[in-house]
Each structure stands twice: as structure tokens, then as C-alpha cells.
Amino acid sequence: MSFIGSLLGTVLLLFWLVMLVRLVFDWVGVVSTSPAPAWTSRVRSVSWSITEPVIAPVRRVLRPVRVGGVSIDLAFTAVLVGVLVLRTIVTAVF
């Protein structure tokens, strides 16, 4: 694997991990009954600022789906899967 392939693979992996952090902290915020510590809002803010520029254009095309009282964000899921597929392609080709 070339240097560029390794670099792209690492960047995509780090982006995927930040998306997982966003997912976990969003769900913790939803199901938590106690007030969240101050550092959790900082982590959520950083993860949103990194991932939202990629997710927002996709969200314009794939609107969230309402299922009863729950809204499922298909854009987040599409970007998460897309990053995994793109990383697999990058690491296989380069």
C-alpha cells in the first residue's frame, strides 16, 4: 500500500471513529435522565463540527424518516456506511 493510500485510509478511519463518538454521545444525551457533565457537551460539539459538514449535504437529499415518535436520520447512516465502503476501496486499490 502506498503512502497516499495509507494516509487516506487513516483519515477515513479517524472520521468514522468521530462519527461513532457522535452516535454514542447523541444516544447518551437522549436516554440519560441526569444532567450531563460539562465535558460531554464539548465532545458533542467537537464531533458535530467535524461530521456535520459532510452529513448536511446528504441530509438535504435523504430526509429523516419519521416512525411513530422517532425520527431516523438516514443521512447519518448513509455517510457512516459510505465511509466504510470508501475506506475499503481505498485500502484495496492503493
Return the DSSP state at 69. Answer: T
pLDDT digits (tens, 9 = 90+) for 34-52: 777 888 889 999 999 999 9
Whether 84 shows a pLDDT value over 80: the answer reads yes
Mean pLDDT, the chain, whole residue set? 90
Q: Report the candidate in 4, 3, 9 with the shortest Cα–Cα distance to residue 89.
A: 9
Kindly report whether the global pTM for this prediction surpasses the value 0.75.
Answer: yes
Residues 6+ apart with CB under 8 A from 55: 75, 76, 79
